[in-house]
Amino acid sequence: MERVQVVLGHLAGPPAGLQAAPCAAYAAPAAGNADDVVVVHGRRTAIGRSKRGGFKDTTPDELLSAVMSAVLQDLDLPAEALGDICVVVSRRLCPAQVLAGSAPRDCRLLSI
């Protein structure tokens, strides 16, 4: 019966407001600076067939370069202003495992 209640809780949807939740995978910056800026911006590359389409001879760093150039242009931000960069590739990833630093190829919905 408890399993049914858990599944029904998943179907009910998220609560009405935002709620903070602790995450064991996230460590707060040791010496945060008030001038630090975090940019979260979504962009993607074009889609092509794997290993035989238009991008078969294109390396991942070339694709990332095009995406990062578009992000910098969208934000009107000079490349020299960037520090650390974290790139997340979305292919049905578990958000918790991305935060933990190990992203599997496939992820079951119930493991999130």
Compute the distance between CA of residue 53 and CA of residue 11 in angstroms, rounded to an integer.
Answer: 39
Report the candidate in 77, 103, 75 with the shortest Cα–Cα distance to residue 91. Answer: 103
Q: Decide: 75 and 69 in contact? Cβ < 8 Å.
A: no
Compute the distance between CA of residue 112 and CA of residue 103 in angstroms, rounded to an integer.
Answer: 12
- pLDDT, one tens digit per residue, over 14-64 is 556 656 666 555 555 555 666 666 777 778 787 777 778 888 888 888 888
**Domain spans of the chain, in order of start:** 41-81, 83-112
**Whether the predicted model's global pTM rises above the 0.85 cut:** no
Compute the distance between CA of residue 108 and CA of residue 25 in angstroms, rounded to an integer.
Answer: 19
Q: Decide: 104 and 97 in contact? Cβ < 8 Å.
A: yes
